[in-house]
Homo-oligomer: A and B are copies of this chain.
Amino acid sequence: MKAGERTFVAALNDLVDERVVLHGWATAVKAKGASCGISFRDRTGTTTVVDASNGSSAAWREDITPESALRVVGVVRAGDTQGGSIQIVAEAVTVLSRACAPLPAVGNRHDQGVEDNCLRLRSPSNYLTFAVQSTFEAAVREFLRANSFVEIHTPKLTAGGNESGSNVFEVSYFGTPAFLVQATQFYVQRAIASGFDRVFEIGPVFRAESSNTGRHAVEFTGIDFELSWIDSHHDVMDVEESLLGYALTAVEEEHGEQIRREFGVVVELPRNPIPRIPFYRAREIVNRESAAGPDRLTHREEGLLSRYAKQEFGSSFIFITDFPADDKKFADMRADDGNAVHPTTTRSFDLIWRGIEISTGDQPEHRYDRLQSQLARSGLDRGTCQDYLEPYYLEMFRYGCPPHGGVGIGLSRLLMALLGRASIRETTFVFRGSGRPVP
């Protein structure tokens, strides 16, 4: 079918008395009586299809079960009996694919016991979710390319490259063990060390964690960008806040109205700059010892900080920066201004939006001598991990790696915040948790 030969339901109002070709699904079929006809849906809306003989030769309807895929050729009429709504008077209805009957129950995606099926995914809110994702990504790429970033693709299979040995998926790689990447950062850093200046990648990331929090998936799409020649992690935050402002404005312009209608949510744009609160100060704001440990925040605390930002600065976006240093994370650059009151910190930051951590970023250490001593102090043992880090991670820094930093944004989490959804299952096309990886 050539693109020009198809009409969408949303365009019918402007085509009264014209002959059109529609493609979509029967949502209900009423074969007899005065109001006989087919309720018809495509991804832009619904209409009614009646036959030219006004019900007298309804033979073609017998074969049509709900959710059957149809091609309808007919003339658009301003309906007279149905309160003025548009109808299609069909010349031909072709069943392209007949749906089995009866239809299965359509579960709630949030309900973790129910497997997805294609019918539930046909809802307008589902399509909108992924149309928004596609618009957001396109704007992200537009912004990054306009700012001299080059898109790259890095390997997902590696003999190492993961900072910690836990929570990784092991793969049998021609008889030897390999792993799926837990983060894209190692390889985007490799591009930086290879002189690429500014790079980004949008691709899958794998974490073998079986949390059932509504925010975690074992496989998710990461948006990672990394840039050279920075002075500090604040240069990275500068790029991220401009990027989000640009991309969310694009979403608001293209889908804002529909998002309000389907999800009852207004697209929130970030202030520029987004407030930047050091971790030690964030702890003072939430005013308590945290259950998350000395260098992290709980989800509840992230929610409190987001509300604090909304109240103080008028927007729920907030950067938490300068997390405490941890010897085990040898690759982090230590801040120069650590002192006894606020112990050594790293050039790191998280971005929280509507209570959800949507990205994490940093300026890693790029100086070979410092990395060597930090690795020695880390106590990482000389197992598989070390065997990989020693030649491959450190090699990147031997020959003049520029200072650099970057961010990883979780795409489905960002969509949760953007659309006000309660679970990452709602914003992932096919979700992967700790259950069997089906469908």
Contact = CB atoms under 8 A, between A and B. Distances in A.
Interface stretch (A53-61, A186-194, A280-288): A186-194
A397 B395 CA distance: 51
A436 interface: yes
Contact of A194 (B126, B159, B194): B126
A138 B145 contact: yes
Most B Cβ at <10 Å: residue of A152, A171, A395, A399: A399
| Tally of this chain's copies | 2
Q: Which of A118, A235, A411 has the most CB of B within 10 A?
A: A118
Nearest to A161: B439
A68 interface: yes
A437 interface: yes
Contact of A67 (B145, B218, B399): B399
Contact of A403 (B97, B118, B197, B434): B97
A37 B45 CA distance: 69
A299 interface: no
Given A155-B430, A157-B169, A204-B204, 13 more contacts: A25-B195, A26-B400, A43-B197, A98-B367, A118-B194, A118-B396, A122-B195, A127-B195, A127-B196, A130-B150, A157-B218, A171-B172, A388-B438
Q: What are the 9 tightest A-B residue pairs by CB atom distance, in nearest-first order?
A: A121-B194, A122-B195, A99-B400, A69-B400, A392-B439, A118-B193, A23-B229, A99-B399, A67-B400
Interface of A: 1-3, 6, 23, 25-26, 42-43, 65, 67-69, 71, 96-100, 103, 117-119, 121-122, 126-127, 130-131, 133-134, 137-138, 141, 145, 147-148, 150-161, 169-174, 176, 178, 180, 187, 190-191, 193-197, 203-204, 206, 208, 210, 218-219, 221, 228-231, 235, 238, 366-368, 388, 391-392, 395-403, 411, 429-430, 432, 434, 436-439
